[in-house]
Structure 1
Amino acid sequence: MIKHHFSAGVYVREMALTREGEVLTHEHKYDHFGILGSGSVLMDLDGELSVHNGPCVIEIKAGKRHGIKALTDIVWFCVHATDVADPETIDEVLIKE
């Protein structure tokens, strides 16, 4: 389940994943925050694996390849500074090809 939240200059992608669910590795053009609201994840950040337990906030720098795997059911939020407010085009603005 993905929900999109937009406010003045801020975009938040909210994701609920069940155990074993994944967000594949990718890179962003800008620094952003990953917020684990609840549950536990295995995070791959530029090839370094770490376990995080919610609630916690993780700063992810621009250009760092990252992804998560849910070790339990989780709620994860990605927080980006952007004026784009269209769920159909937001990834074109944020994700580095």
Structure 2
Amino acid sequence: MIRNRVIVSGQVQGVFFRDTCRRVAEEHGVTGWVRNLPDGTVEAVFEGTPTAVGSLLSWAHEGPDLAVVDEVRRHEEPPEGLTAFEIRPTPW
């Protein structure tokens, strides 16, 4: 089990990024969360097998059809044992 935190920048808010991310994560058996950040980026945490997390990382570089991804910054973290994937509120 591995865990990666990503910050995705570009045109990634208002394009169904979070909802599509949740759906793709569930399809790949990845747990974690996704949320918009006040600066216009999207933050997500992916936990799962290296192959499953790798699939989500690849997806994050493209995003949903309406997104324009400029950059994905990835940080490895210790897994927390999350059991679901959720959309979290924006931290204002």
TM-score, normalising length: structure 1: 0.34
Higher strand share: 1
Which structure would you say has the larger RCO, counting Cα contacts within 8 Å and 6 or more residues apart? 2
TM-score, normalising length: structure 2: 0.36
